[in-house]
Amino acid sequence: MERLVPVFYGNYGKYISRFRAIPYHIDIFRPVERRMLLSLYDVARNKFVKSAKVVGHCMGNYHPHAEAYGTLVRLVKTGFAIGQGNWGSIGLEEDPPAAMRYTEVKLDPKFEELAFKYIKYVPWKEYEFALEPEYLPSPIPLGLVGNTGVNQGIAFHRTSIPTFTIQDLFYALYIVLGIEKNEEFKLLPYLIGHEIIEYDYNYYYTGKGYVTFRPIVVQGKDKKQVELRGVPQSKSKFYKFIENNNLEIYDYTSKDIKIVIKGNRKIDLQKLDQAISNKISYDILLVDEAGHVFRKSVEKIIIDTYESYKNAYANFLNDSIQKLEERISELMIIKKIKEVLRKKSINSIEELHKSIPDVPLDRLKQITDKYSIRRLVNIEVNIPQVTMEKEETEKRLNFLNRSIKQEIKKVAKSFV
């Protein structure tokens, strides 16, 4: 037992880290998040469908565990998916969403372009049920996109990961690639309705650091009333301040957070600041394909995610070139077939082969099986146009760094 238990427990820990709790080191998604996005792509790409259908598809095909609907709710609140129905409320006291049988959802088209355009060109593996991609090929690490300031995962290791706006992530990538130059730019986490008052930027370079957030405060003219545009992260500390100072709270949050605090005398902003400020520590622990957990900096995440996307894009270009070469070869044969058919009537494939002996018989059979004679006659044989398209694709591959930067800029425009 002393020998076997550590082995079994270690293997179980790797499984939990890899397939349940810890984000993957490339796209920074936990498996359930990636699998839910994949399910949205599978069944809710073009129209709204019942959330229960998406969740059932995810659990039945990819993720045989129980936390799937909560993940879908987070994806809607983060903006990856578009929801219809009651998805819960924001504010001091958040209401839960309606049951998944009552809500509807679909994948946001912008994220379909960003995460799934080259999905066929990454490794696909059979992890638990059906084949699924090892990661989602995006130029930026989509698991770092969020409006909560932190993405937590707890297993045998505790990870706390900063989240950012998608626009800031693209700009950070531009700086890494040399597209933009801005020595003053800092990739700072985003927490809805908050401002940053202090931070340790080492999370960008080493994977460990912190940020102190504070809800944005708007003071009334009589100084007896203030508004908060964000929800304090430590509610117990905030409520204690309200009670000790005999203040009243009114939550007028709808689409935007608006929490009003009223008192009979001037509100002490310094004490309020202490009550609503919150320090979030980051320790970015991620998991690799083998289940090993390690610390990784935001800078390295951005670089590795881009390189993985670059590989997928190169695979796409190579596949496109191969298909265009096959199309050119096919059109050349079709051109010969059409020349024969214009001159005489052909009654069999063997007779056609006698008229075109330089084309293998099995290749002729492939083409005549694929197209009817009527379709063959009407196919436009524009070999120069397809050849030009192939040369343009080869040019994009030969100048991969330049062409991929153009591709990224085009995609980023959707999120301006």
Choose the catalytic residue: 9, 12, 15, 102.
Answer: 102
The whole-angstrom separation of Cα 242 and Cα 147 is 26
Q: How far apart are CA 313 and CA 310, in angstroms?
A: 5
Report whether 257 contacts 193 (CB < 8 A): yes
Q: What is the pLDDT of residues 197-223, one digit of tens each?
A: 999 999 999 999 999 999 999 988 888
Q: Which of 300, 285, 304 is nearest to 153 (CA)?
A: 285
Query: Mind giving me the DSSP string for 285-337?
Result: EEE-TTS-EEE--HHHHHHHHHHHHHHHHHHHHHHHHHHHHHHHHHHHHHHHH
Q: Which residues lie closer than 8 Å to 172 by C-beta, 6 or more apart?
A: 164, 185, 187, 298, 302
To the query of whether residue 171 is one of the catalytic residues in this protein, the response is no
Domain boundaries, the chain: 30-134, 140-296, 313-415
Question: Which residues, 6 or more positions from 309, have their beta carbon under 8 angstroms from its beta carbon?
Answer: 118, 137, 138, 139, 404
In which region does residue 6 sit, left (phi positive, over 0), alpha (psi from -120 to 50) or beta (all else)?
alpha
Helix or strand (DSSP H, E) at 104: strand 104-107
**To the nearest whole number, what is the mean pLDDT of the chain?**
90
Relative to beta strand 194-200, strand 208-215 is antiparallel
Beta bridge partners, 293, equal 287
Token look-up 């920074």 returns 28
- Measured in whole angstroms, the distance separating CA 90 from the mean position of its chain's CA atoms is 23
* pLDDT tens, per residue, the chain with 416 residues: 455 445 433 444 445 555 557 899 999 999 999 999 999 999 999 999 999 999 999 999 998 877 789 999 999 999 999 999 999 988 898 889 999 999 999 999 999 999 999 999 999 998 888 899 999 999 999 999 998 877 666 555 688 999 999 999 999 999 999 999 999 999 999 999 999 999 999 999 999 999 999 999 998 888 899 999 999 989 999 999 999 999 999 999 988 899 999 999 999 999 999 999 999 999 999 999 888 999 999 999 999 999 999 999 999 999 999 999 999 999 999 999 988 888 888 888 888 898 999 999 999 999 988 888 778 888 889 999 999 999 999 999 999 999 999 999 999 998 87
Annotation: CATH topology of 30-134:
Topoisomerase II; domain 5 (3.90.199)
| Residue 110 CB burial class (10 angstroms; 0-12, 13-18, ≥19) | middle
343-395 pLDDT per residue, tens = 888 888 888 898 999 999 999 999 988 888 778 888 889 999 999 999 999 99
The single residue listed with the structure tokens 């003053």 is: 184
